[in-house]
């Protein structure tokens, strides 16, 4: 198996494990926040409530991102990378990243932290990058189709 | 649009698709794509093999019908 396929297979397994962890995080989000956040924040139950309300849809969007990345890795391992399905996957990843960034920016209105601000910015950049990748893959699909139909 | 008259030439030479495929080394699938005008481009090497097998000129196989294809007009 070529190096690309080996790397994408390894990455696919890592993403699948991350996905399973992500499901557990959604289920036990409130408890995780209660135990992991500093006492000053957890002493106000309103903060936990707002965090759970905002972070739960964020977590669902992130699970969609992981799911799409897993499907992209699957196509790479079977050597069919340049397909229309991956163009849609990258577009979905972009929408989910931007959606998560919007949700986190809502949290900034209630409790502004440097970490949340930085994460919002990073997700915005990631979303725009995924949009660019989506268009790039579209071009690649067009070139591949033309090449396949060159006799 | 460039029209491929491969089927006309094959009929004149009384050659089947499989026979042409074995003579040229081009797969039947690719020859079928060519014959049905689904191909986007043809390599010179492919054209060479086909002309040699059918004993004809490129002009016998390829014809311009006077209409620009959609990609060309854009």
Listing DSSP states for A64-89 in one string gives: HHHHHHHHHHHHHHTT--SSHHHHHH
- pLDDT digits 0-9 by tens, A90-137: 999 999 999 999 999 998 888 788 888 999 999 999 999 999 999 999
Query: From the list B26, B31, B39, which residue is nearest A149 (CB)?
Result: B39
Q: Which pTM does this prediction carry? A: 0.79
- pLDDT digits 0-9 by tens, A10-41: 999 999 999 999 999 999 988 888 888 776 66
Tell me which DSSP letter residue B66 carries: S
CA separation for the pair B15, B21 (Å, rounded): 10
CA separation for the pair A91, B74 (Å, rounded): 26
Query: Within the 110-149 window of chain A, which residues sit less than 8 Å (CB to CB) from chain B?
Result: 145-146, 149
The number of CA neighbours under 13 Å toward the Cβ of A144 is 12
Residues across chain A: 151
- pLDDT digits 0-9 by tens, A79-101: 888 999 999 999 999 999 999 99
Helix, coil or strand: residue B64: strand
The answer to whether B46 contacts A151, with C-beta atoms less than 8 Å apart, is yes
Query: Which residues of chain B make contact with A143, given a CB cutoff of 8 A?
Result: none
Residues across chain B: 74
Query: Within the 33-72 window of chain B, which residues sit less than 8 Å (CB to CB) from chain A?
Result: 33-34, 38-43, 46
Query: In Å, how far are A24, A68, B35 from A91, measured between CA atoms?
Result: 26, 10, 37
Nearest C-alpha in B relative to A150: B41
């Amino acid at each position: 198996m070529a190096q690309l396929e080996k790397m994408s297979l390894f990455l696919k397994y890592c993403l699948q494990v991350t996905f399973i962890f992500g499901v557990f995080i959604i289920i036990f989000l409130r408890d995780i926040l209660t135990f992991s956040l500093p006492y000053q924040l957890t002493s106000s139950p309103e903060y936990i409530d707002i965090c759970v309300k905002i972070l739960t849809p964020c977590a669902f969007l992130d699970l969609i991102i992981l799911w799409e990345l897993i499907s992209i890795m699957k196509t790479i391992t079977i050597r069919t990378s340049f397909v229309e399905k991956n163009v849609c996957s990258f577009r979905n990843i972009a929408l989910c990243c931007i959606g998560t960034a919007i949700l986190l920016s809502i949290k900034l209105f209630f409790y502004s932290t440097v970490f949340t601000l930085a994460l919002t910015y990073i997700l915005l950049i990631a979303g725009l990058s995924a949009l660019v990748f989506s268009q790039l893959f579209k071009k690649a699909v067009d070139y591949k189709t033309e090449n396949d139909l060159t006799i | 649009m460039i029209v491929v008259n491969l089927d006309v030439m094959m009929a004149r030479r009384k050659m089947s698709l499989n026979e042409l495929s074995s003579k040229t080394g081009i797969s039947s699938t690719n020859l079928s794509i060519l014959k049905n005008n689904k191909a986007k481009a043809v390599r010179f090497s492919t054209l060479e093999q086909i002309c040699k097998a059918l004993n004809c000129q490129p002009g016998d196989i390829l014809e311009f019908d006077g209409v620009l294809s959609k990609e060309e007009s854009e």
